[in-house]
Amino acid sequence: MMLDPLNPLIVQNDRTLLLDVHVPKAEAARAAIIPFAELEKAPEHIHTYRITPLSLWNAASAGFSPQDIIAVLRAYTRYEVPPGIGEGFFHTMARYGKIRLIAPLRGTSCTESFPGFPEELLLVSDDPAVLREIQAADGLAQYVHTIPQGFSLHLRDRGNIKWELIKLGWPVKDEAPLVPGEPLDIGIRELSLAGLPFTPRPYQREAVQAVLGDQGPGTGYGVVVLPCGSGKTVVGMILMSRLKTHTLILTTSIAAVHQWIRELLDKTGLTKAQIAEYTGDVKSVAPVTVATYQILTWRPHKTGDFPHFRLFRERSWGLIIYDEVQLLPAPVFRITAELQAVRRLGLTATLVREDGAEDAVFSLVGPKRYDVPWKDLELKGWIAQAICREIRLDLPKPLKIPYAVASSREKYRIASENPLKAGIVQYLVDTHGEDQILVIGQYLDQLASLAKLLKAPLITGKTPQGERETLYDAFRKSQFRLIVVSKVANYAIDLPDASMAIQVSGSFGSRQEEAQRLGRILRPKGRGAAGSPSQGSYPQGRNAYFYTLVSRNTVEERFAANRQQFLVEQGYTYAIQDWAG
């Protein structure tokens, strides 16, 4: 039965929510459902959200009750809320907090890692059936010892327990204490080093507060989801200034390490002596240390130890920041499982993991604490408005037979390296004379050919790190307006004036990659870095352009559709244009 035709939400029995974006209350409804529903699709008229066990556990961790969720749905629904759906919410959300991880009430001992903190923790529940299920679980037996009130476990197994239990559908409410870490005075500058005013944005402050909560049990860790170009680094720096403790920052590349260090020096009161780089090139440790995932996961042979894991124990860290947390490698997950007494912040543009390990991020880094739709920040001028286009072109006749008889992987490469793409790239570059352009691809021979055609610099994994930094810096200073890059530029590279990307080839269906490549061009032009000196609106009439070139009637179409699903989920529309030549 229809309740109110002006309400924007349709609630369905399968826990999907359909949001009519043309109704006046649509924005309010979207803001209200974000804490407990995940965006799946956002085309022009009807957006689809889904309520999942993980989204309900995220909501429960943020203090939402099933009654709160039902109240939101009833406030915005166009039709009656399906009967019984709230009961399903209750049963799912009741699983969060049913099992708690706590410190012993009395008697603490010192450990080598965390002096003054209990060596053992307690896993407790008020439900005897739950305790029996834990006792019977094969994967938990190696970690727990039965005691009258539940189970005891060693401090080092805190994360492993949480990881195993969420696989069984039991998200643990972790109320055990967090170490404060060694103190460090960190403040945010009111003026950048260039002497320009610096004011963090409201949503950046809100994100930090969502992670900190009341700083009581169960707060002080979690994941913040913000679009590329919106200033996730600033969120990390604000949190550092609030906690004022030794901090370890993990990121994706040496270029990203240097970017973090530049931002820390520019926007905080930290000195060069207080910040260290820990990479393949330099291995030093300071109160704030920035390292790459790659160096941490290096080992001399496949069955050996990870020698650089010692970095996690070099100092009394009070905060670990995981940049691009959706890329967290399995070995770092394992060491993170041991570091559950340290406050943790995950930063990402999308929690999508191609291996489906979002629940591991939830357990070991923390629940999602803050999320803002990309289009919301675009409408407010915090990120650029992007126009997305897919250009389809035929394979040349000489390649059609080789394509037909090739293996699946070789088919993709033939389609991706379609030589006719070069002419389209040249045309797009020529017709966008005012834009700073990135030509992005997967295959090095193709990229080298395009760089030669366009007379543009080329950056790949083979480019020495110093040369990469020089080229990135020259591009930032507009010494040239075109650069050809491989996937090494997908993550955490700050190129604020890039306003156009041409994607000539990509990884097999990777939505993560699509998100990151689009993110290279989303930083508003003429305003400086996110949260930085210039806080005006995005200039009227200036858009960002994202072009993808796809060979028609090939497997590339299918993989491109999968990658571009991310664009649809974030609310972007894109036109498909057939190229006639």
Q: What per-residue string of b and e applies to 248-271 under the rule 16 or more CB within 10 Å gives b? A: bbbbbbbbbbbbbbebbbbbbebe
Among 248, 281, 336, smallest CA distance to 465 is for: 281
Which alpha helices (DSSP H) does 288-443 contain, by range?
293-296, 311-314, 330-337, 358-364, 374-379, 397-405, 408-416, 421-431
Q: Which residues contact 528 (CB under 8 A, 6 or more apart)?
A: 196, 496, 534
pLDDT of residue 509 exceeding 60, the answer is no
For the structural domain made of 202-372, what CATH number should be given? 3.40.50.300
More confident residue, 229 or 470: 470
The pLDDT value given to residue 569: 67
Tokens of 390: 């897919």
CA distances from 175 to 61, 121, 124, 427 (A): 11, 10, 11, 59
Distance of alpha carbon 532 from the chain centroid: 21
- Please, which pLDDT band fits residue 69 given cuts at 50, 70 and 90? very high
Could you give the percent of the chain with pLDDT greater than 70? 87
More confident residue, 285 or 87: 285
- Average pLDDT, whole number, for the chain? 84
Element (H, E) at 397: helix 397-405
pLDDT of residue 75 exceeding 80, the answer is yes
Is residue 569 within 8 A of residue 40, CB to CB? The reply is: yes
Other CB atoms within 10 A of residue 303 CB: 6
The pLDDT value given to residue 109: 37
Alpha-carbon gap, residue 113 to 119, rounded angstroms: 10
Q: What is the 3-state secondary structure of 92-115? A: HHCCCCCCEEECCCCCCCCCCCCC
Q: Tell me which DSSP letter residue 257 carries.
A: H
CA distances from 66 to 10, 38, 336 (A): 18, 16, 31
pLDDT of residue 498 exceeding 50, the answer is yes
Is residue 571 within 8 A of residue 373, CB to CB? The reply is: yes
Amino acid identity, position 458:
L
The structural domains of the chain, with segments of one domain joined by +, span 9-93, 100-174, 202-372, 378-578
Alpha-carbon gap, residue 416 to 406, rounded angstroms: 13
Longest dimension (CA), the chain: 78
The pLDDT value given to residue 182: 94
Q: Tell me which DSSP letter residue 140 carries.
A: G
**Strands (DSSP E) found in 162-256:** 173-174, 222-225, 247-251
Which alpha helices (DSSP H) does 66-176 contain, by range?
66-76, 85-93, 128-136, 158-167
- The CATH class given to the 378-578 domain equals alpha beta
Alpha-carbon gap, residue 491 to 195, rounded angstroms: 29
- Provide the β-strand partners of residue 390: 548, 576
Tokens of 442: 């997967």
The pLDDT value given to residue 80: 93
The pLDDT value given to residue 110: 31
Sheet with 482-485, edge to edge strand ranges: 458-459, 482-485, 436-440, 498-503, 544-551, 386-393, 574-578
Lowest average pLDDT, out of 392-396, 456-460, 516-520, goes to: 516-520
Question: 283: helix, coil or strand?
Answer: strand
The stretch 64-78 carries a mean pLDDT of: 95
**Strands (DSSP E) found in 186-293:** 222-225, 247-251, 275-278, 288-292
Amino acid identity, position 512:
Q
More confident residue, 265 or 573: 265
Lowest average pLDDT, out of 3-12, 156-165, 171-180, 326-335, goes to: 326-335
Is residue 21 within 8 A of residue 53, CB to CB? The reply is: no
- Please, which pLDDT band fits residue 76 given cuts at 50, 70 and 90? very high
The pLDDT value given to residue 27: 85
Q: Tell me which DSSP letter residue 149 carries.
A: T
Which pLDDT tens digit goes with each residue over 218-274? Answer: 678 999 988 877 889 999 999 999 999 999 999 988 888 998 999 999 999 999 999
Q: Is 338 exposed, middle or buried (0-12, 13-18, 19+ CB in 10 A)?
A: buried
- Provide the β-strand partners of residue 13: none
pLDDT of residue 463 exceeding 80, the answer is yes
Which pLDDT tens digit goes with each residue over 361-400? Answer: 888 888 888 888 777 787 788 877 778 888 999 999 999 9
Question: 469: helix, coil or strand?
Answer: helix
Alpha-carbon gap, residue 568 to 562, rounded angstroms: 10
Q: Do domains 202-372 and 378-578 have the same CATH topology?
A: yes
Q: Tell me which DSSP letter residue 197 carries.
A: B
- Cα angle 569, 330, 118 (rounded to 5 degrees) comes to 110
More confident residue, 230 or 184: 184
Strands 150-154 and 144-147: what pairing? antiparallel
- Provide the β-strand partners of residue 111: none
* Residue 450 zone, left/alpha/beta (φ > 0; ψ -120 to 50; rest): alpha
Which alpha helices (DSSP H) does 279-394 contain, by range?
293-296, 311-314, 330-337, 358-364, 374-379
Distance of alpha carbon 362 from the chain centroid: 12
The pLDDT value given to residue 68: 95
Is residue 387 within 8 A of residue 264, CB to CB? The reply is: no
**Strands (DSSP E) found in 199-243:** 222-225
Residue 476 has, within 13 A of its CA and on its CB side, a CA count of: 15
